[in-house]
Structure 1
Amino acid sequence: MKLKIRFLLGILFSLLVFSSHAQRVRWASKVISVSSEYSDPLLGLEYRALHILGKPSKYPTFNNSPSAWQSLTPDNPAGEYIIVGFDSVSVIRQVAIFENFGAGSIVRVDGLDENNKLILLKEFSPGYATRSAQVTSFNLPNLTVPLRAIKISMNSERVKGYSQIDAVGISDSDVPIVESLRLNKDANAYSFKENLGKEINSPYNEICPVISPDGKKLYFTRWKHPSNMGKNKNQDIWVSNWQSDTKTWSKAELFPEPINNDENNAVCGISPNGKTMLLNNVYRNDGQMEKGVSMSFLLRTGDWSFPKALRILNFKNKSEFSEYSLAPNGKILVMTTEMKDSYGGKDIYVSFWKNDDTWTEPKNIGQVVNTGESESTPFIAPDGVTMYFSSSGHVGYGNNDIFLTRRLDDTWLNWSEPENLGPIVNTAQWDGYFSVAAQGDYAYFSSVENSLGAEDIYRIKIPEKAKPLTLIQVAGQIINQDTQEALAGKILVKSVSGTDSLLVDYDPYLGDYSFMWPAKKAFTMQVVKDGYICRVEKMDYTYERSYKVIQKNLFIIPIQLNKQYQIPNINFDQSKAELSSSSYEELDKIVTILKDNTSFKLLLEGHTDNQGDWNENMKLSLERVENVKAYIVSKGISPNRIRVKGWGGTKPLASNMSEERRKLNRRVEFTLQGD
């Protein structure tokens, strides 16, 4: 017993020691006041005070950066200051100031208490900075007053030229704040990368890999390859096919015209069904290209259509370059562009498809993702939630690193804090173009490290933290139940809870319909086609933990006059006549049929199971159809066009021996009739 008590006390002591060293770092979350900030009419929001907020952008590699606060003039004899606030009022023990460039100008640091009273925290004498860029930190072991803000006062004449501050962090712990930013190191990280070899890579540049959602095709861009089109051998698109028998990629082939031409060509994305291709630039009929983005569609012949430009409202790009990615539903476009409200260089923006086949004015997705540096190569994973992108504006390993962020709501403007994908992917060089298939097993990206020449394409087994959400792929056909013929139509996919939806176009000449959906969300499927009755199919694969393909044909029934149909998904609780709101969608379809065909009349017939009194059941069946009639009339249909009849339990569809079978007998049927 004594040994057990001693062991438990040891665990408790360890926990207490750990708690005493645990730290919660808080970063400045708002600028309360600033003496000045740099601005340039030719720039966006580079060097503004807002860039002091949040985590540092350049640590541990310091350099002059537009993603830091810089005063308006380099040497102001009157001095400069900035006051930053935090997300809560608290007692602090440590302050860290990330002097990104021109370190050595700080004169003093004060705290502001809840009454805005200044409390001196630290004074700095000339020459305190040992390097031109450093983390200037100090501890406050005796401070007990809760603080809401920090004021940094600077003598900009102490250091010749501009001084920059990238971030301000505070903590209630003695553990150095920089420890919270420490990156993983692995000298052998490159060994986890798989160079795709000579079938795909060459001594020339291979960049911009895009894996099709089904993982069977890899599109990429080659620059200056001798087999490229045109005399200048600009960027062209190449494609390789996955060979499932040998588990290898086929020798890459040059993609044909009109997708490739004499100018610069690149694939930005492929739709889940593989029939829509998103392409960089706008294709002109004279063979020239303009800034923008286009779509090409797979034709019945197997060829690809001439790319059609996307019309984006008020789209203006100050940068020479731009990249694009299309969400799986085909209606949300993510892009990098430089506009007036860019935080610095290219930022990531979002645009939404409109019913008139135009796209909304791009919206900046915000400062959680975008920085004063340029963001590039965004890729929306097939789950529609996870986004990978490249940036040098977040803590990284050198040049641009690849990061992951996840969408937090349906506005596409709220994102999780970006996560660095780590040393298996990122290097001291430029890293970007991260693409994943729906299976979520491998990722494809470009890198120069240990390449065959210039940039090569690699793949890695995706680290667990970087995987997109588990997806279900559903494929099949729309079938006429009477003739067994495949029919063209649209399939409405909706989440059981929430607002997520997807409209899938289907053409039997192009094969099966196909779409992908997050496994964690139960959903319904229903064909939308005039002149047909379509059941709602409920699908629930929330138990799935890995990618799965489901084959599902959807059967629809042609509407005929004087033929009896059961209203799909209209069932009743035992002894109840009330309609539930879940019935409205089905009844609205009948309303639409009656509005589109004003000569049609409607016969509604109600049924019950055989439980209970015979007379009561007759009454109940009539009440049910009267409630259905009342709803249809409330939608603008004349009551004179609707007849009702109640049959009680006299016409069962199924046995009444079990509750599951009796449910089928509690129903309403309808017949469309002519004059």
Structure 2
Amino acid sequence: MKQHVLFACVSLLLFLQGFSSIQAKNVEYIMNLTDSSSDVTIKTIMNAQTLDLWLEYSNTNPTILAKGEKQLIEKKLRELCTSFVLFIRLMNSNPSYISKAQLELIGLDQVKSIDDIPQYMALFPNSQIIDRFIESKEQSFTRSDMLLILEHVPNSKRVSSFKKVLIDNSRTLNECIEVARVCSDCKEELAGKCVGQLQNNADQRRFLNYFGTTKYGPQITTKYNEMITQKAENLGGKINTEYPDYGPVISPDGTTMYFTRKNDPESFGGEDIYVSKLDKFGEWSKAVNIASPLNNSDHNGVYSVSQDGKELFLHNNYDEGGHNPSITKWEQQYWADPVTQQIPNLKPKSNYHNGSLSIDGKFLVMSVKRNDSYGGRFLFWKSGGNDIYVILKDSAGNWLEPKNLGPTINTEDEEGSVFIAADGQTIYFSSAGHGGYGRQDMFMSRRLDSTWENWTTPVNLGSTINSSGDDDFYVIPAKGDYIYFSSDRDGFGEEDIFRIGLPMELRPKPVAVIKGSVKNKKDNTPIAAKVVYEDIETGQQLGSVETNPLTGEYQIILVGGKRYAIIPTPLTNIASGTLLSINQLNIAASSSSNGGGAQSHRSDGSGGTGGSGSGTGTSKNGNSTSSGGTAQGATIGTSITTNSQSTSSGNGTNSTSSSNSTTKSNTTYMTKNTVIAESQYIDLVDLKEYIEIEQSLVVVPIETGQSISLNNLFFQVGSFVLKKESFLELNRIVKIMEENPELKIEIGGHTDDTGSDETNRVLSEKRAYEVYMYLIKLSVSKERLMYVGYGESKPKVPNTSEANRAINRRVELKIK
């Protein structure tokens, strides 16, 4: 506004002086005058005496401030930012008028103690200059200081020195665990120092949590499995009290326990839900009341926890009278009001019932007494008891009528509680009718088919687990090592919670816990998405979970014996089809071993002509790692890094790796969907034991130069012929092409370095061509496609191991 007024005044002055027109030199003079007004504004900002004034001025004049002298601005900001709190306020204002390097230096001035380093590294995660502070203070560093550096500044030049000191000075199990938590590559040496100090099963359990993947892991695992099966362990005073504590439910990942406590004077009603967390040393924390809205004056309890831990299946009917259970969902900071689940014709004949929800949420097994229960059905002189039923969901997600599991499971007496394991096939239940050691004993049986009527003969869990009293309410974490249960045997109160190790022959089938996050590949921001998992052999969608909308984190559980595709499906704005970023969500809230000869393109062996994928479950591309013991029989896919530069010959639709034309534009297509989801491949055909796998998932914006890997593409062994399992992946690409009619892609084939250059180039080109022809057969115009055989010329990682070579054997799609 001031510039406009100044220009008008000068124009009027010139007119009054008799100028009939404005010559070029006068225009230049006027513009110089308007530029000088910027100097006045900059001087005003530079005279600010507080950061508040500076931010007020700079936010209203960001373009003018950008013209200022950068060294003077840096000097002024050093004067104004007298604490780290003030510096963070400056950073939150997005000061684009000063370089990131200058901001790093200003921030470094505010690092006054070791405790400031986490905040500084959060702002500048790749900072190298933080070493200036570290080197100036390291002579006075304590053990905890060095641990902090390892955790927050893993790229510091001083890290190797600190690792040596910490390892040398770690003598107890606790000290070794402290270092292992922040230094994964120290574990082998640390394990050797503490493996001889394990005095009991608690020590062994903690050792395996941190050092199970070391060379000492198998030996300790064997001893641990033997020791934990010898005697039931009372969970102690942090869980059990003088009041009845019963009905434990463990989250599938084994880190959270819910249970019911009765008649506590401080409770909401007669029976309340309590919760406990597993601490960093593998011990349960003191249980706390979960409070309203899950606890009220009625009978409250948890049946089951969903595979991602974000849903609880509850005993109580909160909305109305009756016996239907309820579900609550975690809403970032609290549990939402429970929603009643309508089960048609449940019609229990007593107030007592309990159940267990399958990991995928598609069926519920329930102990309930009904008119068609076996207990007393034919014998009028017996009152009978509960039977076990299954309640399935239809394709629309509605519950169907209960179905009795039949006489192999149910008897004329009570089948009082039931748990369905993570494998979806093994049940553990209490029964007074199958005989045993007490009034009700625990049994195990496995489902033989999908009818839910054919079961193996129930097996009593034995005298070590069952007692002469009442033992019931059993639950087993996904790992399958422990069974948690309630018992009236000696303890703190009338009923306590115990655990004991399960013998190997009584454990459910092994499963894998897959966890990670979904992010935008271009800028690494977390994405709100649904994560879907499919059976590659059948194409059936087996289940899905939603990510944490703030962090993009997800968790799913997959049963051994299958190969899976995992696909992140971004939540979209239905009106515009644009991706819902985390910021948009906040705004809205405030307003290979392939089985049967199948072969992945990542596992084509010699130059792409044979071989198998890694059996360790570990990828070395930074996107996928495994933990929780050796990954026996698990193979995982890998992601491809975003590439902002594409190369092709541009000669029609057929191009080769000898091409030399380069495209560097960054055009964004205006399309219905703005991202492509990159699927991942998980092979659990030969899974022998429980495993945890870290698997990152990405979505890729539809922009020129962005690329994805087709991780669920499979070829005949030593051939370029596509296997039918590949069609699911390719059909997804066809759909994307249909929804984005302007989209053009390059199909690039890649191999490892085994074999000759020419052999690899030809094989990679033929495989790319097969994909090209499949898309054309499904009506994708060939003018929108081109295929390239790169052979071994563009490895993702060095070809130094079979795992790395598997990563390099791939087919990519690049957006043109």
Do Structure 1 and Structure 2 share a fold, with TM-score over 0.5? yes
Q: Structure 2 counterpart of 1:331, which letter? A: K
Structure 1 residue 580: Cα displacement: 2.9
1:581 aligns to 2:724 (yes or no): yes
Letter paired with 1:280:
H
SS at match of 1:444: strand
Distance in 1, matches of 2:749 and 2:689, equals 43
Q: Does 1:381 align with 2:429?
A: no
Q: 1:339 aligns with which of 370, 378, 381?
A: 370
How far the C-alpha of 1:240 sits from its partner, in A, is: 2.6
Instruction: Show the 5 A alignment for 1:550-569.
Output: 550-560=693-703, 569=712
The whole-number CA distance in structure 1 between the counterparts of 2:251 and 2:242 is 25
Q: CA deviation at 1:602?
A: 4.4
Q: Distance in 1 between matches of 2:276 and 2:799?
A: 59
Q: Structure 1 residues 372 and 664, CA, compared in 2 at 3 Å: closer, same or farther?
A: same
Structure 1 residue 457, shift from structure 2 partner: 1.8
1:256 match: 291
CA–CA distance in structure 1, aligned partners of residues 288 and 807 of structure 2: 58
Task: Give the direction of change, closer, same or farther, for the CA distance of 1:509–1:236 in structure 2 (3 Å limit).
Answer: same
CA 1:668/1:518 → structure 2, altered by over 3 Å: closer, same or farther?
closer
Which of 437, 452, 458 aligns to 1:397? It is: 437
Q: 1:191 to 1:467 in 2, by over 3 A?
A: closer
Aligned counterpart, 1:204? 243
1:565, 1:421 → 2: CA distance? 49
Structure 1 distance, partners of 2:679, 2:799, is 26
Secondary structure at the counterpart of residue 290 of structure 1: coil
1:513 is matched by which residue type in structure 2? Answer: Y
Q: Distance in 2 between matches of 1:227 and 1:403?
A: 35
What root-mean-square deviation, in Å, do the aligned CA atoms of Structure 1 and Structure 2 show? Answer: 4.1
| Aligned equivalent of 1:509, options 532, 538, 550 | 550
C-alpha distance in structure 2 between counterparts of 1:612 and 1:248, whole Å: 56
Contact 1:348-1:375 within 8 A present in 2 as well: yes
SS in 1 for 2:322: strand
- Structure 1 CA distance, aligned partners of 2:692 and 2:343? 35
Distance 1:220 1:318 in 2: 25
Establish whether residue 242 from structure 1 lines up as the match of residue 273 from structure 2: no
Matched, 1:297 2:338: no
Amino acid aligned to 1:337:
V
- Higher mean alpha-carbon deviation, 660-669 vs 515-524, is at 660-669
**Whole-Å separation in 2 of the counterparts to 1:221 and 1:657:** 55
One-letter amino acid of the structure 2 residue matched with residue 294 of structure 1: S
Alignment match, 1:592: 735
Paired with 1:579 and 1:594, the residues of 2 have a C-alpha distance of 20
CA distance in 2, matches of 1:489, 1:409: 33
CA displacement, residues 495-554 of structure 1 (integer Å, 9 cap, x when unaligned):
555768332321242663112234555544332346433444333466765543322212
Once the two structures are TM-superposed, the CA of residue 447 in structure 1 deviates from its matched residue by 1.5
CA drift of 1:379 comes to 1.0
One-letter code aligned to 2:742: F
- Point out the more displaced range, 653-662 or 433-442: 653-662
Aligned positions of 1:603-622 closer than 5 A: none
Distance 2:776 2:545 in 1: 32
Equivalent of 1:525, from 566, 573, 580? 566
How far apart are residue 403 of structure 1 and its match? 0.8
For 2:231, the equivalent position in structure 1 comes to 192
> 1:296 is aligned with what amino acid?
T
Change (3 A) 1:566 1:325: closer
Asked whether the 8 Å contact 1:652–1:665 carries over to 2, the reply is no
CA contact (8 A) 1:281 1:289 kept: no
Q: Counterpart of 1:517 in structure 2: which amino acid?
A: L
1:654 shift after superposition: 5.2
Cα separation, partners in 2 of 1:566 and 1:546, compared to 1, 3 Å: closer
CA contact (8 A) 1:472 1:517 kept: yes
Q: In structure 2, which of residues 374, 392, 406 is the aligned counterpart of residue 352 of structure 1?
A: 392
- Out of 483, 506, 521, which is 2:523 matched to? 483
Residue-by-residue CA offset, 1:581-632 (whole Å, 9 max, x unaligned): 23312221122123334x4354566769999999xx99x9998777656544
Confirm whether residue 458 of structure 1 aligns to residue 498 of structure 2: yes
User: Does 2:351 correspond to 1:320?
Assistant: yes
Partners of 1:190 and 1:590 lie apart in 2 by 51
Query: Compared with structure 1, are the counterparts of its residues 561 and 414 closer, same or farther at alpha carbon in structure 2 (3 Å cutoff)?
Result: farther
Which stretch shows the higher mean deviation, 555-564 or 192-201? 555-564
* Offset at residue 263 of structure 1 (A): 0.9
Matched, 1:271 2:303: no
Structure 1 residues 313, 600: CA separation in 2 closer, same or farther (over 3 Å shift)?
A: farther
Instruction: Provide the C-alpha distance between the structure 2 equivalents of 1:450 and 1:220, rounded to a whole number of angstroms.
Output: 19
Cα distance change on mapping 1:662 and 1:308 into 2, 3 Å: closer
Aligned twin of 2:663 = none
Q: Shift of residue 442 of structure 1?
A: 2.4
- Contact 2:705/2:814 (8 A) holds in 1: no
Aligned-partner SS, 1:283: coil
For structure 1, the 5+ residue unaligned runs are 1-188
The C-alpha deviation readout for 1:322-354, integer Å capped at 9, x for no partner, is: 111111112221112233433224222222334
Displacement, 1:297?
0.9
Structure having the higher helix fraction is 2
Q: Which runs of 5+ in 2 are unaligned?
A: 1-227, 376-384, 571-672
Give the CA deviation at 1:451.
Answer: 3.6
Q: Which one-letter code corresponds to 1:441 in the other structure?
A: D
Could you tell me whether the CA contact under 8 Å between 1:607 and 1:651 is conserved in 2? Answer: no
- Listed one character per residue, the Cα deviations across residues 359-416 of structure 1 (whole Å, up to 9, x for unaligned) are 2222222221122223221112233332111111212224221111122334544322
Q: Do the aligned partners of 1:282 and 1:290 also contact (CA within 8 Å) in 2?
A: yes
Q: Distance in 1 between matches of 2:547 and 2:734?
A: 25
Q: Is the 8 A contact 2:343 2:400 kept in 1?
A: yes
Instruction: State the distance in 1 between where 2:462 and 2:337 align.
Output: 40
Q: How does 1:37-186 map to 2 (within 5 A)?
A: none
Q: What is the one-letter code of the residue matched to 2:401? A: E
Q: Look up the match of 1:108.
A: none
CA contact (8 A) 1:224 1:235 kept: yes
SS of the aligned residue for 2:303 comes to strand
CA distance in 1, matches of 2:799, 2:233: 62
Query: What letter is aligned with 2:338?
Result: P
- Tell me the secondary structure at the aligned position of residue 502 of structure 1: strand
The whole-number CA distance in structure 1 between the counterparts of 2:782 and 2:354 is 57
Identify the match of residue 415 of structure 1 among 455, 458, 469. 455
Q: Which amino acid aligns with 1:243?
A: D
Give the number of the structure whose residues are more often strand, by fraction: 1
Deviation larger for 514-523 or 643-652: 643-652
SS at match of 1:376: coil
CA distance in 2, matches of 1:334, 1:388: 11
- In structure 2, C-alpha distance between the alignment counterparts of 1:613 and 1:255, rounded to whole Å: 64
Change in Cα spacing, 1:446 to 1:510, as seen in structure 2 (3 Å) is: farther
- Paired positions, count: 472
Q: Which letter does structure 2 place at the counterpart of 1:324?
A: G
Q: 1:433 to 1:612 in 2, by over 3 A?
A: closer
Q: Is the 8 A contact 1:474 1:516 kept in 2?
A: yes
Partner-residue secondary structure (3-state), 2:324: strand
Indicate the residue corresponding to 2:692 in structure 1.
549
- AA in 1 matched with 2:528: A
> Partner of 2:480 in structure 1?
440
**Deviation sequence 1:430-459 (CA, Å, 0-9, x none):** 321111222323222112122434222222
SS of match in other structure, 1:457: strand
